[in-house]
Amino acid sequence: MDENKAENKPADISYGEIAQLEELIDRESLREVCRSFFDLFGLSIRVFSARGALLATVHEERSICRYVNSLNKGRVACSETVAQAQMRLPISPETVVHPCFTGAVYHIVPIIYDDRQLGRIVIGPFLPSEVTNTPPSLLNLDPQLDPERARAALSEMPRVRSQTAIRIAAHLRGILDLILFSGHRARLTSTMHLATVRENYRELSEKNASLQDAFNKLKELDRLKSNFLATVSHELRTPLTSIIGYSEMLEAGIAGEMTPEQTGFVETIRTKGELLLLLITSLLDLNKLERGQLSISTEYIDPRAVLDEVREMCVPEAEKKQVKIEAAWADDVPFIQADPVRLRQILINLVGNAVKFTPASGHVELSIRVTEIRVRTEGDEAEEDDGGFGAALMMAPERAVEFAIKDTGIGIPEAEIAKIFDAFYQVDGSSTREYGGAGLGLSIAKSLVAAHHGTIRVESRPAQGTTFFVVLPEAQPDAG
Amino acid sequence: MQLDFQARELTVKLVYYGPALSGKTTNLQAIHRLLSPEGKGRLMTLETRDDRTLFFDLLPLTVNLGSGLTVRIKLFTVPGQVIHNSTRRLVLQGADGVAFIADSQLNEVRANQASFKDLRKNLRDNGIDPSTMPIVIQYNKRDLPNIRGEEEIRRMASQGKERIYLATAFHGTGVAETFTGLIDATWENLERSHDLQKRFGLAPGTIGEDFRRRFNPPGEAPRHG
pLDDT of residue A437: 61
Based on the fold, state whether residues A406 and A427 are members of the same structural domain.
yes
pLDDT of residue A461: 87
Q: Is B189 part of any domain?
A: yes
pLDDT in tens, A78-102: 999 988 888 887 777 788 899 999 9
Mean residue pLDDT of chain A comes to 84
End-to-end alpha-carbon separation of chain A, Å?
A: 82
Dist. CA A406–CA A100, nearest whole Å: 107
- Report CB contact under 8 Å: A115, B39: yes
Which residue of B lies nearest to A202 if distances are taken between CA atoms?
B86
Inform me whether the pLDDT recorded for A6 exceeds 50. no
DSSP type of residue A55: E
Inform me whether the pLDDT recorded for A448 exceeds 90. no
* Bridge partners (DSSP) listed for residue B97: B14
Q: Is B220 part of any domain?
A: no
DSSP letter for each residue of A306-329: HHHHHHHHHHHHHHHTT-EEEEEE
**Coil/strand/helix, residue A474:** strand
Q: Which of A264, A287, A310 is the last residue of a domain?
A: A287
Whether the CB-CB separation of A88 and A108 falls below 8 Å is answered with yes
Looking up residue A38, the CATH number of its domain turns out to be 3.30.450
- Which among B220, B208, B17 is positioned nearest to B116, based on CA atoms? B17
pLDDT of residue A12: 58
Nearest CA distance, B89 vs chain A (angstrom): 9
Q: How many domains does chain A have?
A: 3
Among A41-55, A387-401, A433-447, the range of highest mean pLDDT: A41-55
pLDDT of residue A424: 67
Neighbours of A82 (CB within 10 A): 17
- Which among B141, B197, B139 is positioned nearest to B168, based on CA atoms? B141
pLDDT of residue B126: 93
- Range scoring the smallest mean pLDDT among A117-121, A277-281, B130-134: A277-281
- Report CB contact under 8 Å: A17, B41: no
pLDDT of residue B221: 47
Whether the CB-CB separation of A184 and A18 falls below 8 Å is answered with yes
pLDDT of residue A438: 59
Q: How confident is the model over A448-464, as a mean pLDDT?
A: 88
Looking up residue B48, the CATH number of its domain turns out to be 3.40.50.300
pLDDT of residue A5: 39
Based on the fold, state whether residues A31 and A102 are members of the same structural domain.
yes
Question: Which of A15, A24, A112, A182 best tests the B interface by mutation, with the highest count of B CBs <10 A?
Answer: A15
* Bridge partners (DSSP) listed for residue B76: B15, B58
Confidence of residue A329 (pLDDT cuts 50, 70, 90): confident
Based on the fold, state whether residues A177 and A36 are members of the same structural domain.
yes
- Report CB contact under 8 Å: A189, B55: yes
- Structural domain harbouring A85: 21-198
Give, for B209, the enclosing helix (H) or strand (E): helix B206-214
pLDDT of residue A144: 87
Q: Is B24 part of any domain?
A: yes
Based on the fold, state whether residues A155 and A244 are members of the same structural domain.
no
Based on the fold, state whether residues A273 and A414 are members of the same structural domain.
no
Q: Is A133 part of any domain?
A: yes
- Amino acid sitting at position A385: D
Looking up residue A421, the CATH number of its domain turns out to be 3.30.565.10
Q: Is B219 part of any domain?
A: no
Based on the fold, state whether residues A192 and A54 are members of the same structural domain.
yes
pTM above 0.95, yes or no: no
pLDDT in tens, B111-166: 999 999 999 999 999 999 999 999 999 999 999 999 999 999 999 998 888 999 99
Confidence of residue A435 (pLDDT cuts 50, 70, 90): low
- Report CB contact under 8 Å: B3, A16: no
Positions of chain B with pLDDT under 50: 221-225
Q: Cis omega (within 30 of 0) on the bond before A125?
A: yes
Q: Is A186 part of any domain?
A: yes
Based on the fold, state whether residues A180 and A206 are members of the same structural domain.
no
Whether the CB-CB separation of A31 and A56 falls below 8 Å is answered with yes
Nearest CA distance, B155 vs chain A (angstrom): 34
A window 170-209, beta carbon within 8 A of B: 181, 184-185, 188-189, 192, 195-196, 199-200, 203
Based on the fold, state whether residues A89 and A191 are members of the same structural domain.
yes
Among A25-29, A89-93, A422-426, the range of highest mean pLDDT: A25-29
Q: Is B186 part of any domain?
A: yes
Neighbours of A467 (CB within 10 A): 17
Nearest CA distance, B38 vs chain A (angstrom): 10
pLDDT of residue A272: 86
- Range scoring the smallest mean pLDDT among A75-79, A309-313, A388-392: A388-392
Q: Is B127 part of any domain?
A: yes
A window 6-65, beta carbon within 8 A of B: 6, 12-17
Q: Is A6 part of any domain?
A: no
- Report CB contact under 8 Å: A196, B11: no
Inform me whether the pLDDT recorded for A298 exceeds 80. yes
Inform me whether the pLDDT recorded for A397 exceeds 50. yes
Q: How confident is the model over A14-28, as a mean pLDDT?
A: 85
pLDDT of residue B32: 96
Looking up residue A235, the CATH number of its domain turns out to be 1.10.287.130
